[in-house]
């Protein structure tokens, strides 16, 4: 029987100083308007796993050059502690008047973690970007029907690091509503294309203006479709997104119990369910370690195995 977790039960987060979650596991991707440099430090000090300074959609055409300069200045500077400022940059889409200028400006910038390429519609958009930004990680932000049709090819492009779903532009392009069922097929395609190309899980689009229970519900949809990251538009969204895209208390409890039992019985495969359970448990505990999570002291609740790990 599955035990219900009391409302007062919470996960313990290790207070490891300067815990950094790498981009392959990053859950919250916080977009920051490049025209508003006062927000850069606020974003960097938030709970966001990845900060994305935006010189694309949030910036008016007349302000593109200044926004780019703001970003370059901040990325080239250091914090009060002497650490290099670091962030991703969402650049303008291939074929726009600003795409090449963005890339030339970002070459050899010390604090650049990678770029998020807006309006990606073909693998050529990624490969051409990579030619001008050699060695830089590229998240392909797919935002149109044409881009979704080409998802498999985009995912398998040599320089694609991770896929991201630009929900707002995609809905405007297709006329789809915001109901999760309306976008179910599309979200599934992102996850399938990412998995087939051996990429990290895809990054879901933002829940515009959502906080609290509404944001938690939207993040639950992200998880349900196998997506492992989510764009955020406010620093206040990042902690909720991180929690929703991390292993749950029940998952961590089950994984800990299973591995303990498995090793106590000799660490030998006993039946057809052991292999998938072993893989799942190791994944859960690996993620928990990366995110600085552990069970509360004295925790003693037990949960059934995930339903997709039963031998049948």
For residue 90, give the 3-state DSSP assignment: strand
The values of phi and psi at residue 97, to 5°, are -70, -15
Q: Are 78 and 85 in contact (CB under 8 A)?
A: yes
Other CB atoms within a 10 A radius of the CB of residue 17 amount to 5
Helices (H), the chain: 38-44, 64-75, 99-106, 123-132, 145-149, 151-156, 167-174, 184-196, 212-224, 238-244, 249-264, 274-290
143 belongs to an annotated ligand binding site: yes
Q: Are 307 and 25 in contact (CB under 8 A)?
A: no
For residue 62, give the 3-state DSSP assignment: helix
CA distance 240 to 27: 10
What single-letter DSSP state applies at residue 214? H
CA distance 129 to 201: 22
57 belongs to an annotated ligand binding site: no
CA distance 198 to 30: 24
Which tokens hold the place of 287?
A: 């993620």
Q: Are 277 and 263 in contact (CB under 8 A)?
A: no
169 belongs to an annotated ligand binding site: yes
User: Residues within the annotated binding site?
Assistant: 90, 143, 169
Which residue numbers belong to the known binding site for substrate?
A: 90, 143
Pick out the residues of the known binding site for Mg(2+). 143, 169
């Amino acid at each position: 029987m599955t035990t219900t977790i009391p409302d007062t039960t919470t996960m313990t987060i290790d207070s490891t100083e300067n815990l950094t979650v790498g981009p392959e596991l990053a859950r919250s991707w916080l977009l920051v308007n490049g025209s508003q440099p006062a927000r850069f430090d606020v974003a960097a000090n938030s709970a966001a796993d990845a900060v994305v300074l935006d010189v694309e959609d949030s910036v008016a055409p007349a302000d593109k050059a200044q926004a780019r300069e703001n970003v370059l200045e901040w990325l080239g500077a250091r914090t009060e502690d002497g650490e290099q400022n670091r962030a991703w940059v969402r650049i303008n889409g291939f074929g726009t008047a600003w795409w090449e200028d963005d890339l030339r400006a970002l070459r050899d910038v010390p604090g650049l973690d990678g770029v998020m390429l807006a309006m990606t519609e073909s693998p050529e958009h990624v490969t051409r970007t990579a030619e001008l930004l050699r060695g830089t990680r590229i998240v392909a932000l797919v935002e149109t029907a044409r881009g979704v049709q080409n998802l498999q090819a985009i995912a398998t492009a040599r320089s694609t690091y991770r896929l991201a779903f630009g929900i707002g532009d995609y809905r405007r392009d297709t006329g789809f509503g915001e109901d999760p069922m309306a976008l179910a097929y599309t979200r599934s395609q992102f996850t399938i294309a990412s998995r087939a190309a051996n990429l990290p899980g895809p990054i879901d689009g933002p829940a515009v203006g959502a906080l609290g229970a509404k944001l938690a519900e939207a993040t639950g949809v992200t998880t349900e479709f196998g997506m492992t990251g989510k764009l955020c538009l406010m620093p206040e969204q990042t902690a909720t997104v991180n929690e929703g895209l991390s292993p749950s208390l029940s998952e961590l409890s089950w994984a800990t119990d299973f591995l303990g039992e498995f090793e106590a019985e000799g660490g030998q495969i006993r039946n057809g369910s052991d292999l998938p359970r072993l893989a799942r448990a190791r994944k859960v505990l690996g993620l928990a370690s990366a995110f600085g999570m552990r069970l509360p002291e004295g925790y003693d609740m037990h949960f059934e195995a995930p339903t997709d790990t039963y031998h049948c």
